[in-house]
Structure 1
Amino acid sequence: MKKIKIGIVGLGRLGRKHAENLAFKIPNAELTVVCSILKTEVEEVQKAWGIKYGYTNYEDMLKNEELDAVFIASSSTEHCKQIEQALDAGYHVFSEKPLGVTIEEVRVAKSIVDKHTDKIFMLGFMRRYDPSYAYAKKKIEEGAIGEPFLVRCYGLDPVSAIQGAIAFAEKSGGLFLDMAIHDIDLARWYLGEEAKNIYAIGGCYAFPEFGKFNDADNGAALIKFNNNKMGLFYAGRTSAHGYHIETEIVGTKGSLRIGTVPQKNLVSIFNENGAVQECVSGFIERFDKAYLAEVQEFVNCIIENRQPKVVVDDGVKSTEIAYACKESFEGDKLVRIEY
């Protein structure tokens, strides 16, 4: 079996998860290189997993001629530059979202990817590879709910993770880019339309620390898509019960709901608190299978020499919508998107 040799940059919480999948769970992939600006992370992973090469400098990693592909799981501010460097060096590229942290960056990233049509490029919108979300898409295509006309999304982070969100706030791009972009991508995917008009609101209801970055701890957006289709989005960082990702797609003949109760498993606890269903604690736990499936798809695309269904345009358009939400929120105004 041909194995695709991959080097990963970024060994934080999500990068470590991707690295583990590449090293142990994808038969036709080989994690050949790990790279992080933290030497301790590189040494730990190399020693524990027997990884052949380790670097603390990304440019040095790109000189390794054994590699077939590069996996980018570094800080969001580095993505655009690292995508360009990897493609120019002749590698296939998988990049975690976002493409960049400004509209200018994501458009630069698109121009770079478009120049390298001989290479596979894939963006990490992993929810499309979650079994439940993929099943919902299949049911929509089969006509199970008629013509979809509304998508409602909740994207709530647990309040237990708030200090990390505050520390990252200056570079996150704001609530809508950081959190709602996955939901925006899903709405585009399910409705098959692009956004036209956007109005977003929100505030710092529990954590005023976000205010100095013109950000919010909770926010909502109403989006009008082409053909008068609708999107309702609520993103928050103060969920008391855990990580809550919920999506509803309403059509002319019915509706679909995903994750209405973000249950950890099928166990119910009956005690002095009543009947309790524990909730998932974070995105890695909730989308464990999706993260594995999307990377397997990336590897398969390289082997089969075909492009993935999640392409650079999905990143650009979803980012443009997320930034329109940011502009609307900050300016307290309706924003129209021109294509």
Structure 2
Amino acid sequence: MEKVKVGIVGLGRLGRQHAENLAFRISGCELLAVCSVAAEEVEQVQKDWGIKYGYTQFDEMLQNQELDAIFISSPSNFHCEQIVKALNAGFHVFCEKPLGLYLEEALRVQEAVNQQKDKIFMLGFMRRYDKSYQYAKKKIEEGKIGEPIFIRCYGLDPAKAMDEFIQFAKSNYSGGLFLDMAIHDFDLARWYLGVEAKQVWAIGGAYAYPEFSEMNDAETGTALVKFENNKIGIFVAGRNCAHGYHIETEIIGTKGTLRIGTIPEKNRVTVFDEKGAIKECSDGFLERFEQAYLSEAEEFIACIRENRQPAVTVKDGVISTALGYACRESFETGKLVTVQSPIQTPASLI
């Protein structure tokens, strides 16, 4: 087919990165339209990049019959509604994580996706497209560490971005610490362990920034998860990491261990000065996962051109949302929570 013509909604930090990839770095793709509630963002991107169409209303963009696909990078609370609308309008859809902030709406999206089987739907779990995480998956499949039985994940955002985190949490767009931050790690756990979560106990607090307590959220939190076959997951998410953006994953198996990102290095350079020998850390997710964001968008476009479904499915989004929602419930109630199995539960029964 000719180039896949894409319209993107959301031009914030990540949205702009996605838009730039779609516009300049992916063969067989044309960024034809951009949409944001901020008119100045739309105008600037159109002017700088020569984008043909600009919108401040999502529904208006869906009327554009020149488009083939919609790329959703808007705030999380808009995801489910925009996915359903885009699918019903006849478009292929890529959506950033999370699928939704509530299990009920995630299930409705799953129904919509299943009703539009001729359309490509892909969810933005970009770590599956990071070369290091893919390499670890390959080693597990080869039996390098035997049967994987335990996973430990750290997801720590840099403290210097705290003001932004607080404003984001106040907006009610995030869904809380576990749905916003740990959702990637929940997906990785399922991917690596090959089983689903059964029970969770989550705790946390607002230690240096009491503002999070006022929002019934955590600055730093952890979840202990019991998976099928008694496999174990420990997840730590935090917004106050002094040394920078720290994403670390450890998978322990019956015959060995894999670790990814133990030292969150910016690059392979060591700085020697009056402070000693310094390995600088990544500033944030856009820097650390730059390649992965590009690779997942390339895969989405390739799936459309080749008429095949991606490996990351709506089911992955629903199940990870169920686990994230259970963690939030456990954190808020202080109780051990059984993770609801959403796949067998129609949305109409929720």
TM-score (norm 1): 0.99
Question: How far is the alpha carbon of 1:111 from its aligned partner?
Answer: 1.1
Question: How far is the alpha carbon of 1:269 from its aligned partner?
Answer: 0.9
Given residue 65 of structure 2, which amino acid in structure 1 is its aligned partner?
E
Question: How far is the alpha carbon of 1:2 from its aligned partner?
Answer: 2.2
Superposed, 1:168-187 pairs within 5 Å as 168-170=168-170, 171=172, 172-187=174-189
Q: Which of 310, 319, 323 does residue 308 from structure 1 map onto?
A: 310
In structure 1, the partner of 2:247 is 245
In structure 1, the partner of 2:282 is 280
Post-superposition Cα deviations, 1:11-43, rounded to whole Å, max 9, x if no partner, equal 000000000000000011100001111111011
Query: SS of the counterpart of 1:51?
Result: coil
Query: SS of the counterpart of 1:156?
Result: strand
Post-superposition Cα deviations, 1:116-167, rounded to whole Å, max 9, x if no partner, equal 1110000000000000001100110011111100010000000111111111
Relative to structure 1, the CA distance from residue 327 to residue 67 in structure 2 (aligned partners, 3 Å threshold; closer, same or farther) is same
Post-superposition Cα deviations, 1:292-320, rounded to whole Å, max 9, x if no partner, equal 00000000100111100000010110010
Q: Which of 201, 204, 208 does residue 199 from structure 1 map onto?
A: 201
Query: SS of the counterpart of 2:181?
Result: helix
In structure 2, the partner of 1:117 is 117
Q: Separation in 2 of the partners of 1:190 and 1:14? A: 26
In structure 2, the partner of 1:20 is 20
Whether 1:68 and 2:55 are equivalent positions in the alignment is no
In structure 1, the partner of 2:102 is 102
Q: Mean alpha-carbon deviation: is it higher for 283-292 or for 171-180?
A: 171-180
Q: Separation in 1 of the partners of 2:249 and 2:99? A: 24
Check the 8 A contact 2:151/2:189 in 1, yes or no.
yes
Query: SS of the counterpart of 1:138?
Result: helix
Question: How far is the alpha carbon of 1:274 from its aligned partner?
Answer: 1.2
Q: Separation in 1 of the partners of 2:127 and 2:272? A: 32
Query: SS of the counterpart of 1:22?
Result: helix
Whether 1:293 and 2:295 are equivalent positions in the alignment is yes
In structure 2, the partner of 1:34 is 34
Q: Separation in 2 of the partners of 1:212 and 1:237? A: 16
Gaps of 5+ in 2: 342-350
Q: Separation in 2 of the partners of 1:113 and 1:137? A: 27
Post-superposition Cα deviations, 1:265-285, rounded to whole Å, max 9, x if no partner, equal 000011111111000000000
In structure 2, the partner of 1:162 is 162
Given residue 189 of structure 1, which amino acid in structure 2 is its aligned partner?
W
Q: Mean alpha-carbon deviation: is it higher for 235-244 or for 98-107?
A: 98-107
Q: Separation in 1 of the partners of 2:318 and 2:62? A: 25
Q: Separation in 2 of the partners of 1:222 and 1:33? A: 43
In structure 1, the partner of 2:256 is 254
Q: Separation in 1 of the partners of 2:240 and 2:220? A: 8
Question: How far is the alpha carbon of 1:338 from its aligned partner?
Answer: 3.7
In structure 2, the partner of 1:268 is 270
Question: How far is the alpha carbon of 1:336 from its aligned partner?
Answer: 1.1
**Percent identity of paired positions between Structure 1 and Structure 2:** 65
In structure 1, the partner of 2:344 is none
In structure 2, the partner of 1:326 is 328
Q: Separation in 2 of the partners of 1:55 and 1:81? A: 17
Query: SS of the counterpart of 2:34?
Result: strand
Q: Separation in 2 of the partners of 1:72 and 1:33? A: 12
Q: Separation in 1 of the partners of 2:108 and 2:20? A: 31
Q: Separation in 1 of the partners of 2:189 and 2:251? A: 9
Moved over 6 A (4+): none
Query: SS of the counterpart of 1:149?
Result: strand
Query: SS of the counterpart of 1:153?
Result: strand
Query: SS of the counterpart of 1:128?
Result: helix
Given residue 182 of structure 1, which amino acid in structure 2 is its aligned partner?
H
Query: SS of the counterpart of 2:187?
Result: helix
Check the 8 A contact 2:322/2:340 in 1, yes or no.
no
Query: SS of the counterpart of 2:109?
Result: helix
Post-superposition Cα deviations, 1:216-238, rounded to whole Å, max 9, x if no partner, equal 10001110100010001110100
Post-superposition Cα deviations, 1:150-190, rounded to whole Å, max 9, x if no partner, equal 01000000011111111111411111111001001000000
Gaps of 5+ in 1: none
Whether 1:218 and 2:220 are equivalent positions in the alignment is yes
Given residue 125 of structure 1, which amino acid in structure 2 is its aligned partner?
F
Q: Separation in 1 of the partners of 2:25 and 2:295? A: 10
Given residue 17 of structure 1, which amino acid in structure 2 is its aligned partner?
Q
